[in-house]
Amino acid sequence: MKLSYLDANILLRFITNEPPELAEKCVPLFQKLEDGEIELVTDYLVIAEVVWVLESFYHYSASEIAPQIRVLIDAPHLHIDDKDVLREALSLYELKNVDFTDAFLVARMQRKGISEIYSGDNHFDRFSQITRMEP
């Protein structure tokens, strides 16, 4: 089956139902995805963009965002590298009240066995398994 890439703006229209006329056009695409009629590919950078837009523009909370992103990640016909890292990042994002990107970095660090980060961002101090260092 031919793969097509899925961009953030389509995901955002589907999640927010805005603008309604464009969101409605996305419904058949996601129905085909759910039915296994198509296979789509996206990237964790696309997911990070979706999370950022939902937070900054739509003012969604982490507890509103995480469940919706989990549904996407778990879609069997949506291919995303590092789905396990994304799932862990969503959990950290929700639990630790940090930026999604920071949570993603911590999840990646844990997978790679890295416990130290050079950063001026004190969000990393919320993770007991991470030592934040400044140059």
- Enumerate the domain spans of the chain: 1-81, 82-135
Closest CA to 105 of 128, 89, 90: 89
CA angle at residue 109 from 12 to 47, to 5 degrees? 5
What is the predicted pLDDT for the residue at 66? 96
pLDDT 10s digits, 123-135? 999 999 999 999 9
Selected from 1.20.1370.20, 3.10.129.10, 3.40.50.1010, 3.30.2130.30, the CATH number assigned to the domain covering 1-81 reads 3.40.50.1010
pTM of the model: 0.91
pLDDT 10s digits, 19-74? 999 999 999 999 999 999 999 999 999 999 999 999 999 999 999 999 999 999 99
Q: Are strands 78-79 and 39-41 parallel, antiparallel or unpaired?
A: parallel
- Given a contact cutoff of 8 angstroms between Cβ atoms, the answer to whether 78 and 36 are in contact is no
For residue 1, pLDDT beyond 90: no
Cα separation, 34 vs 103, whole angstroms: 28
Cα separation, 51 vs 41, whole angstroms: 17
Q: Which residues contact 87 (CB under 8 A, 6 or more apart)?
A: 70, 73
